[in-house]
Structure 1
Amino acid sequence: MQQDFLYLIDKNDIKEKNTLINIYSNTNVNYYLSDDFSKEFYILLAKTGFISTSIFIDNLFYLLPEIQFEYAILDFDNLHINKRVKKLINQNNFEFLINKDINKNLEKLNDYHKDNWLTNKYKDLIVNLYKNPDNNFSILSIELYDKNSKELIAGEIGYKINSTYTSLSGFSSKDENYKNWGKLQMVLLAFYLEKNNFSFWNLGHPYMQYKFDLGAKLYSREDFLKRWLTQIQ
């Protein structure tokens, strides 16, 4: 984060049209802060284009909604599959599953990430949303298993809104025997999303090269919101 301070926001700020427009148009600020971990607020943030993580400040735990400066978006016609992943697909030594074991997925995420933000009240919120989906919002646990050992090798947590999917956080085994399985999981997820008539995949921050290797394109905040808000509303 490059900001010197964080603005506190609440659900009224997001519901108030003029305030939300001001947030969208402030190109100097992307991160905000809130102590509201309610389902209603989280879904409202997601539907208005924020991707929320979390942060500790002075030993207090906060939601950290971000209206990003730029986004990485994958349209499935642009999906690129490299030779190593094609080979793994042909070997067929995996099981790709949705929502089999979110608790195991969250556990693996925590083990993988040294500074895991999907924890504490945020984790509780995600599990609550997973168990109690809204009529057009639901949490997805994406899981890739070794077919023989049944071990969870790669996965991610994200959410579905209408016909869009947004990634939150993922992991992949560091074992050399499972090299490129993280990329395999992403390709299989793209297959799943396209097969189930999703419009596009929001991969969030565009600062990781693997997203563009997959076929994602860069969207400015303005261009993203034009597409996102049309799709969500």
Structure 2
Amino acid sequence: MSKDNTIYYLTFENIKDTDILFNDIYSNEDTNYYFCDDFSKDFYIYLARCGFICTSTIYQDKLYLLPEMQFEYALLDFENLHISKKVKKLIKQDDYEFTSNTRFKEVIEKIDEYHEPNWLIGEYKSLLINLHKTYDNNDFKLVSYEIIDKHTKQLIAAEIGYKIYDTYTSLTGFSSKDKKYNNYGKLQLVLLAQELQKEGFSFWNLGHPYMQYKFDLGAVKYSRNDFLKRWLPKVFI
């Protein structure tokens, strides 16, 4: 939540105005969340390129997009990737398939089942499905990464995120709560990091730096200012 408990209404025109973006948003160290009712593809892509990560919220029975200019970010540089012994064991077992964009809609549905409450609903959910179908450019590409049981073809763990040039940002994901699939969520993260490195990506934006698993993976916490120093030269072209 914003430190001053104020959430400002945000428009496409606001963030296209570089004076507002840099002097009123990036430099505002008391506010991180904004809200809007514009679920257009162009606005969402521009928000992502500016460094916002969006969730959603319901207020008075209406769904709003909730773009966040985070106070801090967790970034993974791939040379810092750490693979635990348990994940190394799963890799050796080779009883899984690691895929991308093969079961996007199912991933969306599994995320809905896994998270309660879930912010990926309504117009936001429709927006992402539409983006996945219709938009595939270097400046933005929505993707899913999946771990599938090689024998049963069950979807075990997955996430959705977006590529912007040579950066990747995670949005949300899930992993099976079945005990026999312990650590497969961590496996998905490791395999994704290796895939991104193989594809020549610069870094992985894991969003909020408040979950230990991100640091266990090798991520480092960045202030907003330090994040933007790395982010903007890569994506704000």
Pairwise TM-score range, normalised by the shorter structure: over 0.9
Could you tell me how far 1:211 is from its partner in structure 2?
0.1
Which of 208, 211, 226 is the equivalent residue of 1:223? 226
CA distance in 1, matches of 2:176, 2:6: 36
Distance 2:135 2:69 in 1: 23
- Sequence identity percentage: 59
CA distance in 1, matches of 2:177, 2:8: 38
TM-score by length of structure 2 reads 0.97
Between the aligned partners of 1:179 and 1:76, the Cα distance in structure 2 is: 24
Which secondary structure state, in structure 1, belongs to the residue aligned with residue 153 of structure 2?
coil
How far does the alpha carbon of each residue in 1:2-56 deviate from its partner, in whole angstroms, 9 at most, with x for none? 5523100101100001110110010000000000000000000000110011100
**CA displacement at 1:134 relative to structure 2:** 4.5
Q: Post-superposition shift, 1:135? A: 2.2
- Equivalents in 1 of 2:70, 2:5: separation in Å? 17
2:40 matches 1:15: no
* TM-score, structure 1 as length reference: 0.98
The worse-fitting range, judged by mean Cα deviation, of 93-102 and 129-138 is 129-138
2:32 maps to amino acid: N
Farther-moved stretch of structure 1 (129-138 vs 32-41): 129-138
Note the 1:24-103 alignment, pairs <5 A: 24-103=26-105
CA contact (8 A) 2:36 2:64 kept: yes
- The reply to whether residue 192 of structure 1 matches residue 195 of structure 2 is yes
C-alpha RMSD over aligned residues: 0.8
The CA distance in 2 between the partners of 1:111 and 1:134, in whole Å, is 27
- Mind listing any 5+ residue stretches in structure 1 that lack a counterpart? none
Gaps of 5+ in 2: none
Amino acid paired to 2:206 = L
Three-state SS of the structure 1 residue aligned to 2:66 is strand
2: distance between equivalents of 1:199 and 1:133? Answer: 22
Q: CA deviation at 1:58?
A: 1.1
What does 1:76-225 align with in structure 2 at a 5 Å threshold? 76-136=78-138, 137-225=140-228
Task: Read off the aligned partner of 1:148 and give its amino acid letter.
Answer: H
Give the whole-Å Cα distance in 2 for the aligned partners of 1:135 and 1:187: 25
Task: Give distance in 1, aligned partners of 2:213 and 2:168.
Answer: 18
Deviations 1:86-136 (A, max 9, x none): 000000000000000111101110000011111110010001110111422
Offset of 1:209 from its aligned partner?
A: 0.4
Matched letter for residue 185 of structure 1: Q
Which 4+ residue blocks in structure 1 deviate beyond 6 angstroms? none
Partner secondary structure for residue 206 of structure 2:
strand
Whole-angstrom distance in 2 between the partners of 1:71 and 1:116: 21
Check 1:15–1:134 CA distance in 2 against 1; reply closer, same or farther (3 A cut). farther
Could you report, residue by residue, the CA deviation over 1:183-222 in whole angstroms, capped at 9, with x for unpaired residues?
0000000011011111110000000000000000010000
The answer to whether the 8 Å contact 2:136/2:142 transfers is: no
Q: Distance in 2 between matches of 1:109 and 1:185?
A: 15
Q: 2: CA distance between counterparts of 1:84 and 1:222?
A: 35
